[in-house]
Amino acid sequence: MALGTEDPRRIQVLVLYALGLSFPICPMRGVRCPPHPPQGVGKVLPRVVHHPHCFVPRKRGITLPANTPEELQDIIGMDKPLSLPGFLAKFAYYMPAIAGCREAIKRTAYEFVEMKAKEGVVYMEVRYSPHLLANSKVEPIPWNQAEGDLTPDEVVCLVDQGLQDGERDFGVKVRSILCCMRHQPSWSPEVVELCKKYRQQTVVAIDLAGDETIQGSTLFPEHVQAYAEAVKSGIHRTVHAGEVGSAEVVREVSGWAGGGALLPARPLARAGFHAACQQAVDVLKTERLGHGYHTLEDPALYNRLRQENMHFEVCPWSSYLTGTWKPGAEHAVVRFKNDQANYSLNTDDPLIFKSTLDTDYQMTKQDMGFTEEEFKRLNINAAKSSFLPEDEKRELLDLLYKAYGMPPLASAGQCP
């Protein structure tokens, strides 16, 4: 059968993932229903998330490795843990379905807003790699596409148009983040320039994403130079670090060397997992950390980040399926909770992980002792850590305080 938009089961294509303020969603893949409380959670409360990935259907005559939605879900979905590289390899199955197609890219952005509006989202920051969606003026051309005429610059323009149309039609405030890719440092100088060019549209920040196990990738000169330009130009910064990489990588991307000395990168085989975190802090001067679990392996770094109110984007179910957390060990999010750190709960990639935001909330509630008050606290801190201007951030926080029945100037946890 054709895998198209007419299919109500909606085979979906990964493009974006987001910071979004959302209500619980139905625990059924591919079906969009009004928000309602999941069993055992109780009252529906707004949530702020940093890592839910977004999917939309697309029909372009692209050959996919399946004939039905169910078969494709079985191929790209995960039920048991894989490595992070194994998880990332899943994207090659379906990203070719939209890369290089103007209509698909704009529609993807638009339908993403529609989807999140139906889940109760009121604000989100979506992130993507312009180069992974282009087929012109990008080297190498991704996903084995033939050379075309869609540049990374026009990709950003198309995504902006789709997001803005969605914001108008569905009443959701939307901003975007452009990703550098660890394995393609030559793209990074253009990424930061696109952030500067489109900062008056929807773009609010730069990100570094991709395979953290690529040795030394945080310190590739083009990534470092792009982030230095972002600092100089006032572009907000977030980085995926400390998910499978070490604390050293986090240290390098967030700008702290402990006593002022820049610590050199160490091979992952010798330094263990704390190298990734160290690099994220010292060199790239990130303002938020995607995951950041292995920061805990460097107590001095972790304590300093807590004092500086660094925000951790935590994805519990994802960390299980990517093999970064082993059942039986205490998850980093429990330490973050106990220490009243600044963090949020997120889905990471619902299609591949066969999950919703409720998966992560139920996991932490049932297995890790999280309470409704902690959910409120972490969501308010996530909103405070958004990249909105201060006046718009205050409006978002006022919305949360009202929904939570808290005084307008109430504070949950540390303020940024």
Mean pLDDT of 379-408: 90
Residue 173 bridge partners (DSSP) = 123
pLDDT tens-digit series, residues 336-374? 999 999 999 887 877 788 887 778 889 999 999 999 999
For residue 272, give the 3-state DSSP assignment.
Answer: coil
CATH 3.30.70.3460 matches 52-257+281-410: no
**Confidence band of 98 (pLDDT split at 50, 70, 90):** confident
For residue 277, give the 3-state DSSP assignment.
Answer: helix
Whether the Cβ atoms of residue 244 and residue 273 lie closer than 8 Å to each other: yes
C-alpha distances in angstroms, 99 versus 92, 147, 371? 11, 11, 42
Q: Which of 84-93, 171-180, 281-290, 407-416 has the lowest mean pLDDT?
A: 407-416
Confidence at residue 204, expressed as pLDDT on a 0 to 100 scale: 95
For residue 17, give the 3-state DSSP assignment.
Answer: strand
Element (H, E) at 175: strand 173-181
More confident residue, 346 or 182: 182
Residue bearing tokens 């990639």: 349
Q: What is the pTM of this model?
A: 0.80
Confidence at residue 105, expressed as pLDDT on a 0 to 100 scale: 92
CB atoms within 10 A of CB 86: 13
**Confidence band of 115 (pLDDT split at 50, 70, 90):** confident
Check pLDDT > 60 for residue 412.
no
Task: Report d(CA 66, CA 82) in Å as an integer.
Answer: 21
Q: How far apart are the first and last CA of the chain?
A: 51
Omega before residue 140 within 30° of 0, cis:
yes
Confidence at residue 259, expressed as pLDDT on a 0 to 100 scale: 39
**243 is annotated as an active-site residue:** yes
What's 126's DSSP letter? Answer: E
Check pLDDT > 90 for residue 306.
yes
Catalytic residue, from 243, 248, 287, 297: name it.
Answer: 243
Confidence at residue 250, expressed as pLDDT on a 0 to 100 scale: 65
More confident residue, 267 or 171: 171
Chain centroid to CA 332: how far? 18
Confidence at residue 354, expressed as pLDDT on a 0 to 100 scale: 84
Q: What is the mean pLDDT of the chain?
A: 78
Mean pLDDT of 193-214: 93
Check pLDDT > 70 for residue 88.
yes
Give me 319's structure tokens: 């960390």
Most confident of 55-69, 92-106, 221-235, 255-269: 221-235
